[in-house]
Amino acid sequence: MTLSFEQARECVLREVSAARPTPATEQVPALEAAGRVLAETVFADRDYPPFPRAARDGFAIRAADVPGDLLVIGEVRAGELYHGSVGVGEAVEIMTGAPLPSGADAVVMVEHTEREGNRVRVGRTLTQGENFGAQGQEARSGEVVLHTGQRLGFAQIAMLAMVGRECARECTSVYRKPRVAILPTGDEIVEAGVSPERFQIRNSNAWSMAVQVGRAGGDPQILSIARDNYESTRGLIEQGLDADLLLLSGGVSAGKYDIVERVMADLGAEFFFDRVLVQPGQPLVFGKVRGKFFFGLPGNPASTMVTFEVFARAAVELLGGAQEAPLRLLQAQLSKDFRHKTGLTRFLPAQVSADGSTVTPEPWQGSGDIAALSRANAFLVTDPDRESWAAGDMIRVLLK
């Protein structure tokens, strides 16, 4: 079955979301949870901020007393408490992050004051609540601050630290990484450490897929190379089905020795699609066999990289407990004119500028050109019904 890019993406998301088992969980220290998917709900252990907190250096005052001259009765720094109270016509010098003294209802920035001795002049009006954060305005005690299914990036790890979720007190529950078997196929493939004959190529696809699987939150397990015969391919496929997801590279085109689909059919596989209208990567297979999902990725390096990133990555993320697996497409301005044949959604090597505003197609020699792929930092994404873009036009971009 041949599907469009959008139809194939929707198929992967629908099938994996509907049939995935709930992953097992494990307890890890907060720092080891980075990049993992949270398997519990995390609550605030107290109000945040836990006190009215100054947002500026200046003076804690009563808004009703300004403009005017005020008596400075003390000072409070971050990490301290002021034990007195701000009365009529009084001010307390305060530093950013310090608790607001009792009686004060605003902070005037030091730039807006003139001080002489123990007096400070404020020449402007203020409103109650200005320049300080109210207690609990970020999160109330007992409020949910992190949800099950969130991937834990640096901000989420900071939140875990903020609410005291470290193993000295309480570890963090995360979903176990899905085990992803990577099966390269082809008589022409040799391992990366081998000196190849003129007619052989090194096993780069397994390496790139292992990195992509790891970035998606999976545990990559590279299998031996399957040779282009039925027995070798079937034996290694059955081994790969012990994992949570099986990724094959090569053997899915229409050649005489492309036998992956035949082996899968003999194993009773259900095929959801076997061709997608994209370039590179049209002969992409997605299915399910013995309760496990599998992808047959085309063997050319660019095809393998693109089809993993656009389709298989979503399966890895969902099997790892993520609630959703969005494809992060951006818009950037083309730096020069660009044309392509219509009919396919194309993912072509490109360079996005440092500020992310412009994109330039990277010259390449087709889907085997790893050198071009290594120079690129993104894929330019074309519309299948549009033939040309002019310099300055906006176009979709998928960052690597």
- The model's pLDDT over 132-179, given as tens digits with 9 standing for 90+, comes to 999 999 999 999 999 999 999 999 999 999 998 876 456 889 999 999
Distance in angstroms (rounded) separating the CA atoms of residues 218 and 295: 15
For CATH 3.40.980.10, the residue range(s) in the chain are 2-22+177-319
pLDDT at res. 169: 56
User: Does the pLDDT at position 30 exceed 70?
Assistant: yes
Lowest mean pLDDT among 121-125, 141-145, 321-325, 369-373: 369-373
Distance in angstroms (rounded) separating the CA atoms of residues 37 and 53: 32
Residue whose pair of structure tokens reads 């004959």 in the numeric block:
197
CB distance 261 to 326 below 8 Å: no
pLDDT at res. 257: 45
For CATH 3.90.105.10, the residue range(s) in the chain are 27-47+139-175
36 or 197: which carries more pLDDT confidence?
36
Distance in angstroms (rounded) separating the CA atoms of residues 359 and 339: 14
- Predicted model pTM: 0.86
15 or 192: which carries more pLDDT confidence?
15
Residues linked to residue 117 through DSSP beta bridges, in sequence order = none
Distance in angstroms (rounded) separating the CA atoms of residues 210 and 305: 11
Mean pLDDT of the chain: 93
Dig out the tokens for 84 from the structure: 């007195």
Q: Which residues of 58-97 are buried (b: 16+ CB within 10 A; e: fewer)?
A: bbbbbbebbeeebebbeebeeeeebeeebeeebbbbbbee
User: What's the whole-number mean pLDDT along residues 54-82?
Assistant: 97
pLDDT at res. 285: 95
CB distance 87 to 103 below 8 Å: yes
pLDDT at res. 252: 66
For CATH 2.40.340.10, the residue range(s) in the chain are 329-399
Q: Which helix (H) or strand (E) holds 254?
A: none
pLDDT at res. 368: 81
Q: What is the DSSP string of 38-105?
A: B-S-EE-SS-BSSS-EE-SSEEEE-GGG-SEEEEEEEEE-TT----SB--TTEEEEE-TTPBPPBT--
When the candidates are 3.20.20.70, 3.40.980.10, 3.40.50.300, 3.30.420.40, the CATH number that belongs to 2-22+177-319 is 3.40.980.10
For CATH 2.170.190.11, the residue range(s) in the chain are 53-133
CB distance 308 to 297 below 8 Å: yes
User: Does the pLDDT at position 204 exceed 90?
Assistant: no
Long-range (24+ apart) CB contacts under 8 A made by 259-266 are 259/228, 259/229, 259/230, 259/233, 260/185, 260/233, 260/285, 260/296, 261/285, 261/296, 262/230, 263/230, 263/233, 263/234, 263/237, 264/237, 264/289, 264/294, 264/296, 266/234
**Terminal Cα-to-Cα distance of the chain (whole angstroms):** 28
pLDDT at res. 167: 61
User: Does the pLDDT at position 88 exceed 90?
Assistant: yes
Distance in angstroms (rounded) separating the CA atoms of residues 319 and 63: 55
When the candidates are 3.20.80.10, 3.40.50.300, 3.40.605.10, 3.90.105.10, the CATH number that belongs to 27-47+139-175 is 3.90.105.10
Q: pLDDT category, 3, cuts 50, 70, 90?
A: very high
Distance in angstroms (rounded) separating the CA atoms of residues 248 and 186: 11
48 or 172: which carries more pLDDT confidence?
48
User: Does the pLDDT at position 200 exceed 90?
Assistant: no
User: What's the whole-number mean pLDDT along residues 102-127?
Assistant: 97
Q: pLDDT category, 65, cuts 50, 70, 90?
A: very high
Distance in angstroms (rounded) separating the CA atoms of residues 87 and 85: 6
User: What's the whole-number mean pLDDT along residues 31-47?
Assistant: 93
Residue whose pair of structure tokens reads 């959604």 in the numeric block:
345
- Backbone angles phi and psi of 83, in degrees to 5: -90, -5
Q: Could you tell me the fold of the domain covering 53-133?
A: Molybdopterin biosynthesis moeA protein; domain 3 (2.170.190)
Query: Which pLDDT tens digit goes with each residue over 334-389?
Result: 999 999 899 999 999 999 999 999 999 999 888 888 888 899 999 999 999 999 99
| CATH number for the domain whose boundaries are 329-399 | 2.40.340.10
